[in-house]
Amino acid sequence: MNINPVLVRKEMANLKKHDIIESREGKYGGSKLAKAPEHISLDDIFKITFETVTLGYCKKEPNPKCPVGNKINDNLDKLYCDINTDISNKLCKITLQEFTQEF
């Protein structure tokens, strides 16, 4: 996967916490899905791993005199609400089973 194993373990722990996978330690251990892939939507996984798409929020209070800064977070809230609704509507129609058939 060309990714740091720590990040993989962190995401797997998150999926386990939300009952998407189950793990067993030991000689015959490993991880597997906790339920059938046709009962897991990509939206389920998206909400567990990302929650929402959010980019560019101003962490500090913007200057209220700035015509862009004083409304940036409100405008981003609306934009991202719309984007996240669109993403969720698309992903909830795709099961993990359907997605894996693409490989």
The predicted pLDDT at position 72 comes to: 81
User: How far apart, in whole angstroms, are the C-alpha atoms of residue 78 and residue 71?
Assistant: 11
* Whether the predicted model's global pTM rises above the 0.85 cut: no
Q: Do 64 and 81 reside in the same domain of the chain?
A: yes
Q: Do 26 and 8 reside in the same domain of the chain?
A: yes
* Range 11-26 burial, b when 16+ CB lie within 10 A, else e: eeeebeeeebbeeeee
Q: State which residues form the domain around 28.
A: 1-34
Indicate the number of domains in the chain: 2
Q: Do 49 and 28 reside in the same domain of the chain?
A: no
Q: Do 59 and 94 reside in the same domain of the chain?
A: yes
Q: Do 52 and 80 reside in the same domain of the chain?
A: yes
Q: Do 102 and 60 reside in the same domain of the chain?
A: yes
- Percent with pLDDT over 70 in the chain: 95
Q: Do 91 and 54 reside in the same domain of the chain?
A: yes
Task: Supply the mean pLDDT for the chain.
Answer: 88
Range with lowest mean pLDDT among 15-19, 72-76, 90-94: 72-76
Q: Do 53 and 86 reside in the same domain of the chain?
A: yes
Mean pLDDT of the 69-88 span: 86
Q: Do 79 and 48 reside in the same domain of the chain?
A: yes
pLDDT tier for residue 57 given thresholds of 50, 70 and 90: low
Q: Do 48 and 5 reside in the same domain of the chain?
A: no
User: How far apart, in whole angstroms, are the C-alpha atoms of residue 75 and residue 8?
Assistant: 34
Q: Do 87 and 66 reside in the same domain of the chain?
A: yes
pLDDT tier for residue 58 given thresholds of 50, 70 and 90: low
